Amino acid sequence: MALIDDAVWQSGPEAVAAEIERIKAEMLSEKLPMAETIELNPETGQFRAVPIPVENAPYMSALLSQIEDALEDCLGGHNGLSERAGDVKKLGRVLTKYRDDPQNAELTLTRVASSLRAQLHESRELPDNEDNLALLNAVEEGVRGIRANHPEVAANREQLAQQALKALSPEDKKVLEEALPVLAAISEPELAEDFEQDIPELINDALLPLPDGAPPLPGADAATRVFSRVSKMALLQEQYGKLTRKGAEWFDSDTRKTVQLAGLVGGGAVTAAVTVGPKLIELVQIGLRVLGVL
């Protein structure tokens, strides 16, 4: 309450409520930092994620090439990994989609390194042979290299390492399930694809089809991406509202209608036949609960 300016208090209860929600979104964004910018594309009226530039590009490319070679060796032998495995799919995204995205490459490689270590040294699901150990080493080298050349990513990892994520309740999973098509509709394709990969992993039960090889618990990489991005999108709600009201063509678009039906924009534009879906602020609340703030 002390963070709310006197001018907001004087504007009435609606303004105060909106400011409280803005503060919550800002808090979540600060607790789950990512070295990227979430912005609105004025051409499409959709959200997009803009990564920070890759530093020391030749070295980064060499690290990824090592991972690619090590992965190829693992898949080419009897090493317990297949192209359908969750870790292999994650590495595939790093080598393609996240190749020029240091933050998401680091998040994903850190998750894969942790998973490989557990399978090699704890559960023994994978044999600790030369190929598998070489893959783990290449992934760990990739993580170290990204952090060493991108101080912002390294600082974010230090902060994220202090976060203890809590389990999602069934109600929270339902909200996430309902939010997925809405988030995809208001996001550009690359960002939408991330939501479509990460949210099923967070839900991680029979509510949605899961990527093959999904881990038994939601991963920190998926939680960080989803809730960090949602918090930044929530902070852009006013800008989004102005942009999506700028012309009749956009107002009549399928995306606009999808968002309206989900109750995210123009709450009155919801027909009786459609169940009102989750709002962005609901997702912010879930994110804060997952972090143990609420």
Rounded distance, CA 40 to CA 48, Å?
A: 6
Per-residue pLDDT tens digits for 22-74: 889 999 999 999 999 999 998 888 999 999 999 999 999 999 999 999 999 99
Per-residue pLDDT tens digits for 165-220: 888 889 999 999 989 999 999 999 999 999 999 999 888 743 444 444 544 445 68
Predicted TM-score (pTM) above 0.85: no
Question: 167 CB contacts (<8 Å, ≥6 apart)?
Answer: 217, 218
Q: What is the pLDDT of residue 77?
A: 82
Q: Which two tokens stand for residue 168?
A: 């999602």
Q: What is the pLDDT of residue 274?
A: 31
Mean pLDDT of the chain: 83
Per-residue pLDDT tens digits for 72-119: 999 988 899 999 999 999 999 999 999 999 999 999 999 999 999 999
Q: Which two tokens stand for residue 8?
A: 């907001």
Strands (E), the chain: 36-41, 46-51
Rounded distance, CA 15 to CA 13, Å?
A: 5
